[in-house]
Amino acid sequence: MANKALATRQKLSFRVEPSQARPRNPVAVAARQRAAGPHRKNASAVRQSEKQALKKTLDGSSR
């Protein structure tokens, strides 16, 4: 048991300092805290979906 002394010896430990009080990049913090949501459809996408819905109703009513 040559390593018995190593087990009882105090082990080296590193101290971890708490993070800084001031953020590194205040713009990034502000961007993260904002509420994000889905994007709006552009005008052509809205027009296209309305056109498809109109075609669907016209085809359904004639049958």
37 membership: H or E segment, kind and range: none
Q: How far apart are CA 15 and CA 60, in angstroms?
A: 71
Mean pLDDT of 30-49: 87
Whole-structure pTM value: 0.39
Q: Which of the pair, 27 or 12, is modelled with greater confidence?
A: 27
What whole-number distance in Å separates Cα of residue 59 and Cα of residue 63? 7
The SS3 of residue 12 is coil
- Among 31, 49, 28, which residue's Cα sits nearest to residue 40? 49
